[in-house]
């Protein structure tokens, strides 16, 4: 390996997951089964992808672990918070994602993961009825409790480093308000005043994680780490953050397919996306206030890839609509349907239809693994604040909207950012440009 300042991945990595539902139990079970050699971590970039380092005669294509010191799967310890008290084994069985034969071999490990009391406010997810919560806790008490949970987990399990991953439901939309979210002081004051309108429970998790030197990943579209107060806190504590919303099904298709239209200089009249989904996520998103949060994240993808100012003949006033429909018979097997109205030579109309019959948690689990391993790597490499190179895995990449920054949503440009970051952290030259 070349000269790299990245610290080695010594000791254990603790992954503390908010939410012990379909996504997180599928993630945990898959890691445990892979460790036993009973399955393959398909879909995980950190386990499979190879990237080029060096040029010319020095050119090599290497797995990430041969470029940078990534934590080994055998060194991962899990913990979780959830509003329901059931352990990870029962939850995995209830989620109805994996077959019993793919859960039973790691039953003993899963049984040991009992969720800690969640920092929860029913107003933020009205459809959830769980009693394993911090009853009567103010926002500041939630923060203190969560910090204690992180410290206890490290001590009890002998964990060296912790990453906190949000894999829980989508909260209702909280509009960023600089009066409460603009500075660390304002955020802390709002938490101490128990301001329930402006301080979402997820903000308590993020704040607690950063204060405990634990990188934080927001896997839902919640307004959490994408506010100036959290950016400042991440800079002050020198801890990395990433968000938001796992890019699993429809948005993955959009961020990969829209570049085809743009690169081929075809016009776009409209893009209609709809989903049917039957798991807990679908239930929560059936509430209009929660769907609003998701809609904001899903709608942002296209507009930064097919830009009117760049090609006014092709991308002026196209119609973009996104819908999610709760449909219980499907459980975790989501169906994403896209109708794309394009036009070509001399303005003649054409249509593209994409029907993605995907499995939400099967697509999300490898993202959870990659995000946790890569943000831990970034922390050891001395990176902190918003980790833009992780945009590849996220629907609505964090960006500084206060300065008019436009996020990179183009999948292949995001991939260049990811590869360059891996190269840099491995002591190689970041030698690809985003055009």
SS3 of 395-417: CCCCCCHHHCCCCCCCHHHHHHH
Taking a C-beta distance cutoff of 8 angstroms, is the pair 104, 39 a contact? no
The mean pLDDT of 77-95, rounded to a whole number, is 97
Residues 6+ apart with CB under 8 A from 133: 83, 117, 118, 119, 120
Domain with CATH 3.40.50.720 in the chain: 13-246+361-425
If residue 15 lies in a helix (H) or strand (E), which one and from where to where? strand 13-18
Torsion region of 356: left, alpha or beta (phi above 0 gives left; psi -120 to 50 gives alpha)? beta
Percent of the chain with pLDDT over 90: 87
pLDDT score for 2? 52
Classify the phi-psi angles of 238: left when phi > 0, otherwise alpha if psi is within -120 to 50, otherwise beta: left
Q: Where in the chain is the domain with CATH 3.30.360.10?
A: 250-357
At residue 299 the predicted structure's pLDDT band, cuts being 50, 70 and 90, is low
| pLDDT value at residue 1 | 40
- The whole-number average pLDDT for the span 54-63 is 95
Query: Does residue 169 sit in helix, strand or coil?
Result: coil
Picking from 15, 26, 19, the residue whose alpha carbon sits closest to that of residue 222 is 19
Mean pLDDT estimate for the chain: 95
User: Which residue blocks in 304-346 are alpha helix, DSSP H?
Assistant: none
- HSE-CB for 344 with a 13 A CA cutoff: 7
Q: Is the pLDDT of residue 108 over 50?
A: yes
- What is the helix (H) or strand (E) element at residue 303, kind and residue range? helix 288-303
Which residues on adjacent β-strands are paired with residue 242?
217
The Cα 335–Cα 224 span in angstroms is: 28
Among 70-79, 273-282, 298-307, the range of highest mean pLDDT: 70-79
Taken in order 62, 421, 374, 406, the sign of the CA dihedral is negative
pLDDT digits (tens, 9 = 90+) for 159-181: 999 999 999 999 999 999 999 99
Per residue in 378-405, pLDDT (tens digit) is 999 999 999 999 999 999 999 999 999 9
| pLDDT at 295 > cutoff 80 | no
Dihedral sign for Cα atoms in the order 53, 54, 55, 58: negative
Q: Give the chain's end-to-end CA distance (angstroms, integer).
A: 29
- CA distance linking residue 279 with residue 23, whole number of Å: 10
Can you count the helices (H) and strands (E) in the chain?
A: 14, 13
For domain 250-357, give the CATH superfamily: Dihydrodipicolinate Reductase; domain 2 (3.30.360.10)
Alpha carbons within 13 angstroms on the beta-carbon side of residue 39 total 22
pLDDT, mean of residues 64-93: 98
Averaged pLDDT for residues 184-207? 98
**Rounded distance between C-alpha atoms, residue 173 and residue 229, angstroms:** 18
- In CATH terms, the superfamily for domain 13-246+361-425 is NAD(P)-binding Rossmann-like Domain (3.40.50.720)
């Amino acid at each position: 390996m070349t000269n790299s300042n990245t610290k080695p991945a010594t000791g254990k990595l603790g992954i503390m997951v908010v939410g012990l539902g379909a996504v997180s139990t599928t993630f945990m079970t898959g890691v445990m089964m892979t460790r036993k050699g009973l399955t393959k971590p398909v879909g995980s970039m950190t386990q499979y992808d190879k990237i080029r380092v060096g040029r010319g005669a020095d050119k090599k294509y290497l797995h990430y672990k041969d470029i940078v010191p990534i934590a080994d799967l055998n060194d991962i310890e899990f913990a979780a918070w959830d509003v329901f008290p059931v352990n990870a084994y029962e939850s995995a069985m209830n989620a109805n994602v994996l077959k019993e034969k793919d859960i039973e071999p790691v039953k003993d490990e899963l049984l040991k993961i009992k969720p800690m009391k969640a920092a929860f406010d029913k107003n933020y997810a009205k459809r959830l009825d769980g009693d394993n919560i911090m009853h009567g806790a103010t926002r500041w008490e939630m923060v203190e409790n969560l910090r204690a949970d992180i410290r206890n987990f490290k001590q009890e399990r002998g964990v060296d480093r912790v990453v906190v991953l949000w894999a829980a439901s989508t909260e209702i939309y909280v509009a960023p308000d600089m009066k409460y979210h603009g500075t660390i002081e304002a955020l802390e004051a709002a938490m101490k005043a128990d301001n329930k309108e402006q301080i979402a429970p997820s903000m308590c998790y993020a704040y607690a994680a950063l204060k405990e030197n634990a990188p934080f990943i927001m896997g839902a579209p919640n307004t959490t780490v994408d506010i100036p107060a959290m950016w400042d806190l991440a800079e002050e504590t020198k801890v990395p953050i990433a968000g938001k919303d796992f890019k699993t099904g429809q948005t993955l298709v959009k961020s990969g397919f829209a570049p085809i239209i743009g690169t081929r200089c075809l016009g776009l009249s409209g893009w209609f996306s709809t989903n049917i989904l039957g798991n807990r996520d679908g239930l929560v998103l059936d509430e209009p206030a929660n769907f609003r949060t998701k809609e904001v994240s899903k709608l942002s993808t296209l507009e930064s890839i097919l830009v009117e100012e760049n090609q006014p003949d092709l991308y002026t006033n196209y119609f973009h609509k996104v819908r999610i429909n709760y449909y219980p018979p499907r459980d975790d097997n989501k169906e994403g349907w896209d109708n794309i109205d394009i036009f070509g030579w001399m303005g003649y109309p054409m249509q593209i239809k994409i029907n993605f019959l995907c499995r939400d948690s099967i697509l999300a689990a490898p993202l959870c693994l990659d995000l946790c391993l890569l943000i831990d790597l970034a922390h050891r490499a001395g990176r902190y604040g918003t980790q833009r190179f992780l945009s590849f895995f996220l629907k609505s990449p964090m960006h500084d909207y206060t300065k008019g920054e436009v996020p990179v949503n183009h999948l292949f440009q995001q991939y260049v950012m990811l590869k360059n970051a891996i190269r840099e952290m491995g002591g190689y030259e970041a030698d690809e440009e985003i055009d």
